[in-house]
Amino acid sequence: MAAQREKALWSGRFTTAPDVMMKKFGESISVDWAFYREDIEGSIAHGKMLHRIGILSREEMEKILRGLEEIKEEIESGEFVPNIELEDVHMNIENRLIKKLGELGAKIHTGRSRNDQVVTDYRLYLKKEIGKIMDLLKTCMDVFLKRAEEDIDIIIPGFTHLMHAQPVSLGHYWMAYFWKFQRDLKRLSAALEGADVSPLGAGALAGSTLPLDREYTRELLGFREVSKNSLDTVSDRDFILDLQYALSTFFIHTSRLSEDLILWNTQEFNYIQLPDEFCTGSSMMPNKKNPDALELIRGKTGGVVTGLFNLMMNLKGLPLTYNRDLQEDKKFVLENIATTKIVLEILPQLILKIQVQKENIQKHLSKGFLLATDVAEYLVLKGVPFRKTHEIVAGIVQYAEGKGLDFQDLSMEEWKGFSPHFEQDIVEILTPQKAVARRRTLGGTGKEPVLEQIKEGREVIK
């Protein structure tokens, strides 16, 4: 950044310039320069409004608007580099405008404070970024629909407590994450709605004695509504909390997904093979193929969630209205947005390229007495109370386990030894495929309800 010394635009009240260390400590330009487009966009709208209410002549407005467009071009060409002496994006751009236009450039800050300016920039920026994330998430969800359709007939062990529980369709598994992501999409939509409020015109905290037309700037900037209370406006960071919570929840979901896939990729499970392009090797062990992309997703979750708690701790003790603490509301958010976008670019490609090891999965389906609940419900349909069937089947499991047998290995004599209600038709239900097919309840793992989920999911994407 440029090294020349600049006088802060707020320095008139002071007899001594800030200490050099204070300037380094207090600058935010290293973070909020990301908002330069939004800052110029907000200033253009503000300039048009100042002309509308008679503060600027048409000629003055046109010079200011032209100057702001030129500054944008200078930034994007690399000609204009921000100066740390001027603290933040707002003062850098305003100072540049004053250098270009003289006293006329100083008029752009009429009726405006950095307090309402920064939150205007922030809301404009987040509206764009949340929209991008939502589009990426919908693309990711579409991939999960495709995998669900492709893998609907593949049966895998379902787990509780990381122990074999009941057989489920792999398509049903993919749809479980589709619905988690659908809720994430709703949370992002709520965060987008929360950000879609125009703060411009709230001033430092009390509004303005000037006849500012806040509805006009709202319309120019494309906000849904104008904020209702100037004190609330400059102190409010709820819309950022909403986004941070939405991103944190999304990462918790992807972290859990990553954990499953990492386990399934181990030699112990060997349910899937991960694509080479999202794995790495060992610098020492030539046999290794490590699931680095998934481990990084799992690892980065901590940083994203930290961003949420950082902002919550920042806000919890702040009196109204603006306090300099709020300068610290950006770093984690910008990092989390960038992390979310790259994860949403990687994850769909990784999921699409996973190879399912059907033969290896088949071997696991005979472990853990996955069909025990089916046997219990068989007896329920014969009129036996469920608590009694639970006890009977637990005894069968204990007996078979002691003899190294599975349900399919038991003779009819052995079945009847546990209950006279068992008939030859018990044998007909004792396959994972039939167990899955029979679960036709709404939201269940049977093929028909999974197909219904996929159909509904496509409507969600639309």
| Domains, the chain | 11-110 (1.10.275.10), 115-211+221-363 (1.20.200.10), 366-461 (1.10.40.30)
| Direct distance between the N- and C-terminal alpha carbons of the chain, in angstroms, rounded to an integer | 46
Read off the pLDDT of each residue in 271-292 and give the average, rounded to a whole number. Answer: 94
Q: What is the pLDDT of residues 130-145, one digit of tens each?
A: 999 999 999 999 999 9
The dihedral over CA atoms of 447, 450, 455, 458, expressed in degrees to the nearest 10, equals: -140
Helix spans in 229-291 (H):
230-235, 238-264
Q: Find, among 4, 88, 46, the residue nearest to 221 by Cα.
A: 46
- pLDDT score at 257: 98
User: How many residues are recorded in the chain?
Assistant: 462
The answer on pLDDT for 4 being more than 60 is no
Catalytic machinery residues? 161, 282
Q: CA–CA separation, 245 vs 191, rounded Å?
A: 9
Read off the pLDDT of each residue in 310-335 and give the average, rounded to a whole number. Answer: 96
Instruction: Give percent of the chain with pLDDT exceeding 90.
Output: 92
Helix (H) or strand (E) holding 169: strand 163-169
Tokens of 171: 């398509």
Measured CA distances, 431 to 78, 402, 403, 425 (Å): 67, 21, 20, 12
12-21, 350-359, 417-426: the lowest-pLDDT one: 12-21
Q: How confident is the model at residue 15 (pLDDT cuts 50, 70, 90)?
A: low
Q: CA–CA separation, 196 vs 229, rounded Å?
A: 15
- pLDDT score at 23: 77
- pLDDT score at 129: 98
**Vertex 251: Cα angle to 249 and 253 (nearest 5):** 75
Q: CA–CA separation, 446 vs 287, rounded Å?
A: 39
45 class by beta-carbon count within 10 Å (0-12 exposed, 13-18 middle, 19+ buried)? buried
- pLDDT score at 26: 77
Q: CA–CA separation, 158 vs 146, rounded Å?
A: 20
- pLDDT score at 14: 58
Helix (H) or strand (E) holding 178: helix 170-195
319 class by beta-carbon count within 10 Å (0-12 exposed, 13-18 middle, 19+ buried)? exposed
**Do the beta carbons of residue 189 and residue 246 sit within 8 Å?**
no
Q: CA–CA separation, 239 vs 121, rounded Å?
A: 13
- pLDDT score at 3: 42
Read off the pLDDT of each residue in 409-413 and give the average, rounded to a whole number. Answer: 94
The answer on pLDDT for 7 being more than 90 is no
Q: Find, among 260, 241, 266, 348, the residue nearest to 298 by Cα.
A: 260
Read off the pLDDT of each residue in 334-360 and give the average, rounded to a whole number. Answer: 98
The answer on pLDDT for 155 being more than 60 is yes
Q: How confident is the model at residue 8 (pLDDT cuts 50, 70, 90)?
A: low
- pLDDT score at 1: 42
The answer on pLDDT for 13 being more than 70 is no
11-15, 24-28, 173-177, 446-450: the lowest-pLDDT one: 11-15
